[in-house]
């Protein structure tokens, strides 16, 4: 697989693809005569981002905080509930539909309500981030437990392991690949969720910064903030990959067993 | 056969819903004896093992170990499953200590107990490797090491070499025979490989297709090691042929041969 490719061969195609899009955007903004208040060129976005770097940074901090705290809450909740649901079929049947319904709530409607109930502070942001990331994490964990090899379970039973022992020694580690797959998906939702929550009402944050920039007819600053949020997401995504490598050192070997 | 059997099954029956899997199985295993169960696919060999270790109960009949009824939770058996069931996230050393850890031994003591056995099992130098780094034969040896360090009364081997290529399997059978000669484990092997059963066993039970009962019991009075010396090979082939005939024509063959 891609493990054998050199670093340039791995990231090269992605760099070229992004470069082509940016170039097309630049040419269009430059040559079509479209106004800078409608579609600024990428060069102008970058210039303005540099000029407003302090404001962008100050607004990125609360977004990162809301993202990480919200994500931490949802991870904790997903972990606890997944364990309880794994042990109790009754609980699983009772709660799963509730969580599915929670996924059908449109964020557009929920975000202003949460702000209305809990104000402009950090708490409603944490809640919204948790709401959008909780379900994918829960599903990943529940699926992961279910993917435990049956023979390993039988083996542990033959050794006299308790139900908790089987969970700790087999089901939990078996869920790790699923957990990290879920983590990679939800971390991208988390940033979007935080920005959306701020958009609905906040004192500071990338979401409210985007809203203000739009109201001031500054699409260049909107796009600059979008660039920052994309950068944040990529960094967080990269972190999950690094954490997975550290937590699952054996996956390197899964594809090439020794002869 | 003078001493009482360690494991004794009498008329064991088991059905799952409408499907009758075991229709009264009688068998026994004595101290230090290597016994095989042969049967067609789906004959209920695995169900038999589940009754011994998996916490399911027979619908009828009795299972005794050392003359006492077998209860749930009295872990008498060390079980080796079909595929090696090594945990990919544990290093080989920590895979082999699994049973001891489950018994409550602390990790350091468990490692100290297992580590000296790595050489005998041909695994020296691979303690820190992950299972994915080992060949199929080495993985099976690690699985057997994990099984025997539990110091249980009896080994249950569920087609332990079924997933290996033919050459590795033959090597593993020879190796297991050597190990068994040295340690004299009491063992019950489930297999569908006639040659493997004859090569390894003192006695062989042949099961009928589902619902399973014992069609015939074969003794294999060949001295060990059972290598390729021609007279023994002839005798082994004769037994193999009889076992095969019983397996392929289940109804009448059982009474003819002995």
CATH number of the domain that residue A104 is part of? 1.10.3720.10
- List the Cα angle A92/A94/A97 in 5-degree steps: 90
Alpha-helical regions (H) of chain B:
45-53, 92-96, 98-102, 107-114, 136-148, 166-183, 194-200, 230-248, 250-256
The count of domains in chain A is: 1
pLDDT at A49 over 60: yes
Nearest to A152 among B54, B77, B85 (CB): B85
Residue A119 belongs to a domain: yes
Residue B94 belongs to a domain: no
Confidence band for B254, pLDDT divided at 50, 70 and 90: very low
Q: How far is the C-alpha of B96 from the C-alpha of A151, rounded, in Å?
A: 16
What single DSSP character describes residue B212?
B
Distance from CA of B236 to the nearest CA of A (A): 33
* A153 interfacial to chain B (CB closer than 8 Å): no
Contact B85 A149 (CB under 8 A): yes
Tell which wins on pLDDT, B5 or B96.
B96
Nearest to B53 among A157, A249, A253 (CB): A157
Alpha-helical regions (H) of chain A:
7-31, 42-51, 53-87, 89-104, 107-118, 122-146, 150-158, 163-166, 172-174, 176-199, 206-215, 219-247
Judge contact between A85 and A95, C-beta under 8 A.
yes
Angle between helices A42-51 and A219-247 (to 10 degrees): 80
pLDDT at A31 over 60: yes
* A46 interfacial to chain B (CB closer than 8 Å): no
- Residues B178-198 pLDDT 10s: 888 888 889 999 988 898 998
For B155, the closest chain A residue by CA position comes to A158
Mean of the pLDDT values across residues B125-136? 92
For A154, the closest chain B residue by CA position comes to B54
Distance from CA of A66 to the nearest CA of B (A): 33
CB-side exposure of A197: number of CA atoms within 13 Å? 32
Residue of B152, B87, B63 lying closest to A156 (CA atoms): B87
Contact B87 A161 (CB under 8 A): no
Strand B60-65's sheet: what is its strand order? B19-29, B7-16, B60-65, B68-69
Q: Which two tokens stand for residue B130?
A: 């992950």
- Tell me the residue length of chain A: 259
For A247, the closest chain B residue by CA position comes to B89
Residue A16 belongs to a domain: no
Helix (H, G, I), strand (E, B) or coil at B23: strand
Judge contact between B182 and B170, C-beta under 8 A.
no
Nearest to A158 among B79, B82, B129 (CB): B79
Contact A155 B88 (CB under 8 A): no
Q: Which domain holds residue B176?
A: 7-76+153-256
Query: Locate tokens 């079509």: which residue?
Result: A32
What pLDDT shows up at residue B3? 64
For A259, the closest chain B residue by CA position comes to B135
Residue B113 belongs to a domain: no
The count of domains in chain B is: 1
Confidence band for B253, pLDDT divided at 50, 70 and 90: very low
Specify the pairing of strand B187-191 against strand B203-207: unpaired
Distance from CA of A138 to the nearest CA of B (A): 22
The overall longest dimension of chain A from CA atoms, in Å, is: 76
Helix (H, G, I), strand (E, B) or coil at B182: helix
pLDDT at A259 over 50: no
Q: Which of A67-71, A100-104, B71-75, B179-183 is the most confident on average?
A: A67-71
Q: How far is the C-alpha of A137 from the C-alpha of A178, rounded, in Å?
A: 9
Residues near B47 by beta carbon (within 8 Å), at least 6 away in sequence:
B14, B21, B22, B56
Q: How far is the C-alpha of A185 from the C-alpha of A143, rounded, in Å?
A: 15
CATH code of the domain in which B245 resides? 3.40.50.300
- Residues A161-187 pLDDT 10s: 889 999 999 999 999 999 999 999 899
Mean of the pLDDT values across residues A81-92? 90
What pLDDT shows up at residue A257? 40
What pLDDT shows up at residue A171? 95
Q: With left for phi above 0 and alpha for psi between -120 and 50, is residue B55 left, alpha or beta?
A: left
Residue of B103, B106, B213, B91 lying closest to B142 (CA atoms): B91
Q: Which domain holds residue A169?
A: 62-205
Query: Locate tokens 């090491």: which residue?
Result: B145
Query: Locate tokens 């997975």: which residue?
Result: A244
Residue B108 belongs to a domain: no
Residue A231 belongs to a domain: no
Contact A160 B103 (CB under 8 A): yes
Q: With left for phi above 0 and alpha for psi between -120 and 50, is residue B157 left, alpha or beta?
A: beta
Q: How far is the C-alpha of A257 from the C-alpha of B158, rounded, in Å?
A: 24
- Residues A213-236 pLDDT 10s: 999 998 889 999 999 999 999 999
* A150 interfacial to chain B (CB closer than 8 Å): no
- Residues A144-162 pLDDT 10s: 999 999 889 989 988 988 8
B156 CB neighbours in chain A (<8 A) are: 158
For A248, the closest chain B residue by CA position comes to B89
Helix (H, G, I), strand (E, B) or coil at B189: strand
Residue B55 belongs to a domain: yes
Q: Which two tokens stand for residue A177?
A: 């690949």
């Amino acid at each position: 697989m891609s493990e054998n490719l050199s670093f340039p061969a791995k990231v090269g195609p992605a760099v070229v693809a992004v470069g082509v899009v940016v170039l097309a955007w630049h040419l269009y903004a430059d040559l079509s005569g479209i106004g800078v208040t409608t579609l600024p060129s990428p060069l102008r976005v970058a210039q303005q981002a540099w000029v407003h770097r302090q404001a962008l940074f100050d607004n990125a901090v609360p977004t990162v905080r809301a993202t990480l705290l919200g994500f931490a809450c949802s991870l904790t909740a997903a972990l606890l509930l997944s364990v309880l649901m794994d042990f109790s079929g009754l609980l699983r049947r009772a709660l799963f539909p509730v969580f599915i319904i929670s996924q059908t709530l449109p964020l557009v409607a929920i975000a202003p309500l949460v702000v209305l109930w809990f104000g402009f502070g950090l708490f409603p942001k944490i809640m919204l981030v948790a709401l959008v990331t909780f379900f994918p994490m829960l599903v990943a964990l529940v699926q992961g437990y279910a993917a435990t090899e049956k023979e390993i379970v039988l083996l542990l039973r033959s050794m006299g392991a308790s139900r908790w022992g089987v969970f700790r020694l087999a089901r939990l580690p078996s869920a790790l690949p699923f957990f990290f797959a879920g983590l990679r998906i939800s971390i991208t939702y988390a940033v979007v969720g935080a920005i959306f929550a701020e958009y609905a009402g906040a004192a500071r944050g990338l979401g409210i910064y985007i809203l203000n920039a739009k109201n001031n007819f500054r699409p260049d600053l909107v796009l600059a903030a979008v660039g920052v949020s994309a950068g944040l997401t990529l960094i967080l995504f990269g972190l999950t990959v690094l954490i997975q490598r550290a937590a699952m050192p054996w996956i390197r070997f899964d594809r090439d067993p020794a002869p | 056969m003078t001493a009482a059997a360690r494991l004794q099954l009498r008329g064991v029956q088991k059905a799952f819903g409408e499907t009758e899997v075991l229709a009264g199985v009688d068998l026994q295993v004595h101290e230090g004896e290597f016994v095989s169960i042969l049967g067609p696919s789906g004959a209920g060999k695995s169900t038999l093992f589940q009754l011994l270790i998996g916490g399911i109960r027979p619908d009828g009949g009795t299972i005794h170990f050392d003359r006492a009824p077998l209860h749930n939770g009295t872990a008498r058996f060390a079980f080796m499953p079909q595929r090696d069931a090594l945990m990919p996230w544990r290093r080989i050393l920590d895979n082999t200590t699994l049973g001891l850890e489950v018994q409550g031994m602390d990790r350091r003591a468990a490692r100290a107990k297992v580590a000296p056995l790595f050489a005998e099992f041909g695994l020296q130098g691979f303690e820190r490797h992950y299972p994915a780094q080992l060949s199929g034969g080495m993985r099976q040896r690690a699985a057997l090491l994990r099984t025997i360090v539990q110091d249980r009364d009896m080994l249950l081997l569920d087609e332990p070499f079924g997933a290996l290529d033919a050459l590795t399997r033959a090597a593993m059978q020879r190796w297991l025979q050597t190990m068994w000669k040295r340690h004299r484990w009491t063992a019950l092997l489930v297999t569908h490989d006639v040659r493997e059963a004859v090569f390894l066993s003192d006695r062989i039970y042949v099961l009928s297709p589902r619902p399973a009962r014992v069609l015939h019991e074969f003794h294999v009075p060949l001295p060990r090691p059972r290598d390729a010396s021609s007279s023994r090979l002839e005798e082994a082939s004769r037994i193999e042929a009889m076992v095969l005939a019983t397996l392929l024509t289940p109804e009448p063959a059982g009474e003819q041969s002995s």
